[in-house]
Structure 1
Amino acid sequence: MSTSSETEARAAAVPRPPARGTRLTLRAAALGRPDAPAVTGVDLDVAPGEILTVVGPSGCGKSTLLRTLAGLLPPLAGAVEQDGRPVDGPAADRALVFQDDALLPWRTLRANVELPLAFRGVPRAARREQAAAWLERVGLAAQAGQLPHRVSGGQRQRAQLARALAGRPRAVLMDEPFGALDAQTRAGMQELLVEVLHGTGATVVFVTHDVDEALFLGDRVALLGAGRLTAVRDVPRPRDRSAHDDPARVALRRDVLTSLGT
């Protein structure tokens, strides 16, 4: 006969329905630090389940925007909201993914992926099972027991992605997560991100310097520059590699590069 703890563990291991995405809104927002505002007058609405990419030159406030949405920086003015409620600090349903993988070096990949599940109170057996399933999904089943320094940079980023999504966040905020990877690994990570996000319903804000990456991943692309949000444009045929030479995509790419002064 099963014990109550075994029953609880099995129940927790059963995949739950996809998390519903969340709406992220900035209204007349000024972002940055009191002595160094980075962006002012930001009006932006990110729809539930949307992938919004953000591009702009170095120092234009992209990371500041992301950290404000994550609740790590309060706005200097205006409003920053999640589903109509003020963002007044970090929250478990908004996951932040950095360029630096930020894995705990003394924990195995599996133990790193278990962290958000432990914070949610998932029983140990169930969180091990769920972490293993996420690592398999990102192609790291064979490396589950390895420490981060024993695997490649691309594999560490896969583990970080698994850790972010294991907690079933409603928003995933990504700060140039693939920027340090070589071109081939980066393209593979873009495809993997699209694959693992499918069905989660999560809202994604993805900061990048790479215009082609922004136009592949994003439903819309937001352009930052000169201390303000200059435009938000719809992307034709997002997440379609064959659309690279689509005339509408080519025209948008040209416009984005012009706006960035490149």
Structure 2
Amino acid sequence: MTADTTRAATAQGLRLTLRGATLGRTGAPVLDGIDLDVVPGEILAVVGPSGCGKSTLLRTLAGLLPALGGEVTEDGAPVTGPRAERALVFQDDALLPWRTVRANVELPLAIRGVGRAERRARAGEWLSRVGLAEHAGKLPHRISGGQRQRVQLARALAAGPRAVLMDEPFGALDAQTRAGMQQLLVEVLRGSGATVVFVTHDVDEALFLGDRVALLPGGRVLPVPRPRERAAHTDPVTVALRREVLESLTPLS
């Protein structure tokens, strides 16, 4: 691992904060007066009924959608637009079909002006971490949906972002592949220092991945008991938390 990669891997996560924020598009706000503080280095899972503003929240934190009111900050500074330190991961893998797996992972590094040798080394390292080193030379259509999501994860993390914003990235995967991706996410984030905001409609996914769970539209945040184990879903505390989260998912009128 190079010195540059080591620094990227150990960078402290961003603190992402909303204070009295109104989010949405002009004339069509979907979240009003929301307060939320995402702690550096945590995984904050965000759940809520369809149409409550989960994706809007994520795009606002990514700098793609300006707030209509209130404050949205990173480490105390206003979020005014996209930045390389905030990576966005979608449900659609969004890989460029004409670029190989390796070239897709290298893309954000190339945009940042990283030299070719360093790009190749860092892309190779991350493809190894997500178990796809042997597929580096393939085009995206030659690998499975779960593998494409692994490529997207490697691409997002290769540039060493301080925050990773994930919009239901595993929603289109089958149950077995989804469980594997959840475990992989936890493993590859371990030690990275990155702050993660993970939007999902799956309560069990939120409770497995999240250090805390934010309930929209109100913004109430609940701590998740640990250790992070699949068997923990039968623990009475986790059962009660799951019930509380499910009760918050009443469809919006």
Aligned partner of 1:98 among 70, 90, 105: 90
The amino acid across from 2:224 in the alignment is V
TM-aligned CA deviation for residue 35 of structure 1: 1.9
Aligned partner of 2:218 among 222, 229, 232: 229
Q: Which runs of 5+ in 2 are unaligned?
A: none
Q: Aligned to 2:215, what secondary structure does the other structure show? A: strand
Q: Is the 1:110–1:145 Cα contact (8 Å) retained in structure 2?
A: yes
Q: Is the 1:23–1:203 Cα contact (8 Å) retained in structure 2?
A: yes
Once the two structures are superposed, residues 180-199 of structure 1 have per-residue CA deviations (whole angstroms, 9 ceiling, x without a partner) of 00000000000000000011
Separation in structure 2 between the aligned mates of residue 238 and residue 144 of structure 1, nearest angstrom: 34
The amino acid across from 1:81 in the alignment is T
Which residue in 1 is equivalent to 2:188? 196
TM-aligned CA deviation for residue 116 of structure 1: 1.6
Q: TM-score, normalised by structure 1?
A: 0.92
Q: Is the counterpart of residue 81 in structure 1 residue 73 in structure 2?
A: yes
Q: Which runs of 5+ in 1 are unaligned?
A: 1-9
Which residue in 1 is equivalent to 2:104? 112
Which residue in 1 is equivalent to 2:138? 146
The amino acid across from 1:119 in the alignment is I
Aligned residues: 250
Separation in structure 2 between the aligned mates of residue 127 and residue 242 of structure 1, nearest angstrom: 39
Q: TM-score, normalised by structure 2?
A: 0.95
The amino acid across from 1:82 in the alignment is E
Question: Identity over aligned residues, as a percent?
Answer: 75
TM-aligned CA deviation for residue 261 of structure 1: 2.8
Q: Is the 1:53–1:217 Cα contact (8 Å) retained in structure 2?
A: yes
Q: Is the counterpart of residue 251 in structure 1 residue 243 in structure 2?
A: no
Q: Is the 2:5–2:160 Cα contact (8 Å) retained in structure 1?
A: no
Which residue in 2 is equivalent to 1:214? 206
The amino acid across from 2:156 in the alignment is A
Q: Is the counterpart of residue 242 in structure 1 residue 231 in structure 2?
A: yes
TM-aligned CA deviation for residue 243 of structure 1: 1.1
Separation in structure 1 between the aligned mates of residue 127 and residue 116 of structure 2, nearest angstrom: 16
Separation in structure 2 between the aligned mates of residue 251 and residue 14 of structure 1, nearest angstrom: 42
- 1:23-38 to structure 2, matched below 5 A, reads 23-38=15-30
Q: Is the 1:236–1:248 Cα contact (8 Å) retained in structure 2?
A: yes
Q: Aligned to 1:174, what secondary structure does the other structure show? A: strand
The amino acid across from 1:15 in the alignment is T
Which residue in 2 is equivalent to 1:7? none
Q: Aligned to 2:218, what secondary structure does the other structure show? A: strand
Separation in structure 1 between the aligned mates of residue 194 and residue 5 of structure 2, nearest angstrom: 19
TM-aligned CA deviation for residue 242 of structure 1: 2.4
Q: Is the 2:34–2:219 Cα contact (8 Å) retained in structure 1?
A: no
The amino acid across from 2:225 in the alignment is P
Separation in structure 1 between the aligned mates of residue 203 and residue 36 of structure 2, nearest angstrom: 20
- 1:115-194 to structure 2, matched below 5 A, reads 115-194=107-186
Which residue in 1 is equivalent to 2:62? 70
Q: Is the counterpart of residue 15 in structure 1 residue 3 in structure 2?
A: no
The amino acid across from 2:111 in the alignment is F
Once the two structures are superposed, residues 142-197 of structure 1 have per-residue CA deviations (whole angstroms, 9 ceiling, x without a partner) of 11111111111000000000000001000000000000000000000000000000
TM-aligned CA deviation for residue 121 of structure 1: 2.1
Q: Is the 1:113–1:163 Cα contact (8 Å) retained in structure 2?
A: yes
Q: Which moved more, 1:242-251 or 1:195-204?
A: 242-251
